[in-house]
Chains A and B, each alone.
Chain A
């Protein structure tokens, strides 16, 4: 199980940190497990996360990593849904600006003033569904 291999039991200095998205997937799963255990335990069915355009996360890689993290464990098959949040570029003079994904301009191309950036840094676990211990999954 991935969590055991990368878990806090290994000595801090030599703990192997997985690549970026795998690390995030592990953190998402850890958060889910902690949430479920705090409510008496159960099996994770699905989790929804918010990922911002500026968070340097590739949703497809995160989905692959998620499958690797939950595979072979009690939560195998649990789904990960990514809610994508674009960043908004707002010029105080010209107003909100349409932009291509991956455009990080911080200067308004029309008037040269600094752009205000709204959102795009999201990296959150939003909510999850789980089947409490002792209950059969409803299909």
Chain B
């Protein structure tokens, strides 16, 4: 029997693919966000509101990850932005090779901002770097305020947490200040935004955050 020292990251292939994507997005000066949340927390709806607000000023595109159906990509295409659907067929997360495959298969054109909407799941997507500039965690008020401490991995990895469906807050026992405290404890210095795509609350702040981060990336890369 022979012993061999390997000392290699298990996700080394994903890390290499993500690094290549990051270089590609630096070249194209595209800001890339990886949106992660539970199913049904409103990722696609937030993107629809974002496209309505920013679509006239910025070239936006989206990669949608779902187990089945083209529905999410269709919703965004209807609003006039290029969107590619990755069907994972049961896979619980996107990985960097799938994103590379999507971009190779479907030229989304020159983009200012690319949104990657991950498969609805608060656990597995956290481990896979997609070459994004940062992760965005979404939390709808109907999910309850204990989510950040129950899923600390994603809420400490996400640079920004977006609370969604804020218009429902009067109808559910959701303690916003509790969420604020939990997110601050997991991600000191992170950003928390409170939004409702239905009433438009907080959408301007979210869009301003996206534009500021795009400007920051372009200034750093200039």
Task: Decide if A1 is an interface residue (CB 8 Å cutoff).
Answer: no
Q: Is the CB of A104 within 8 A of B92?
A: no
Q: How many residues of B contact A (CB 8 A)?
A: 42
Tell me whether B13 and A106 are in contact (CB under 8 A): no
Among B5, B10, B126, B187, which residue has its beta carbon within 8 angstroms of that of A106? Answer: B187
A13-B87 contact in complex given A20-B124, A27-B13, A137-B1, C-beta closer than 8 Å: yes
A13 touching B86, Cβ below 8 Å: yes
8 A Cβ contacts from A21-47 to B? 23-24, 27-28, 31-32, 35-36, 39, 42, 45, 47
Contacts of B171 in A (CB 8 A): none
Chain A residue at minimal CB-CB distance from B89? A16
Q: Given contacts A20-B124, A56-B126, A56-B127, is CB(A127)–CB(B98) below 8 Å? A: no
Interface size on A, residues (CB 8 A): 44
* A/B interface sample: 21 pairs, CB < 8 A: A13-B102, A13-B105, A14-B87, A14-B89, A15-B98, A17-B91, A18-B90, A19-B90, A20-B92, A20-B127, A27-B13, A54-B153, A55-B127, A104-B156, A105-B185, A124-B7, A124-B8, A125-B7, A129-B2, A131-B1, A138-B1
Query: Which residue from B7, B10, B152 sits with its C-beta under 8 Å from A27?
Result: B10
User: Given the interface contacts A27-B11, A27-B13, A56-B123, does A12 sit within 8 Å of B101 by beta carbon?
Assistant: yes
Asked if A31 and B92 make an inter-chain contact with CB atoms under 8 angstroms apart, the answer reads no
Q: Would you call the interface of chain B mostly helix, strand, loop, or mixed? A: mixed
A13 CA / B106 CA spacing, docked (Å) = 11
Given A102-B152, A107-B185, 10 other A-B contacts at CB below 8 A?
Answer: A15-B89, A17-B93, A36-B4, A54-B153, A106-B187, A126-B6, A127-B6, A127-B7, A129-B4, A130-B2
Per the bound structure, the CA–CA distance linking A16 and B86 in Å amounts to 11
B134 to chain A, nearest CB (A): 17
Chain B residues within CB distance 8 Å of chain A: 1-13, 86-93, 95, 97-98, 101-102, 104-105, 123-124, 126-127, 149, 152-153, 156, 184-189
* A125 and B10 contact, CB distance less than 8 A: yes
B130 CB to nearest A CB, Å: 13
A123 beta carbon closer than 8 Å to chain B: yes
Q: In the complex, which residue of chain B has the Cβ closest to the Cβ of A19? A: B92
With CB as the reference atom, state the residue of chain B lying closest to A20: B124
The answer to whether A128 has its CB under 8 Å from any CB of chain B is yes
Report yes or no: A20 in contact with B93, Cβ–Cβ below 8 A: yes
List residues of chain A with CB within 8 A of the CB of B2.
Answer: 39, 42, 129-132
Residues on A with beta carbons closer than 8 Å to the beta carbon of B187 = 106
Q: What's the Cα separation between A49 and B9 when bound, in Å?
A: 9
A127 touching B5, Cβ below 8 Å: yes
Residue from A47, A56, A102, A123 whose CB has the most chain B CB atoms within 10 Å: A56
Q: Closest A residue to B154 by CB, please name it.
A: A56
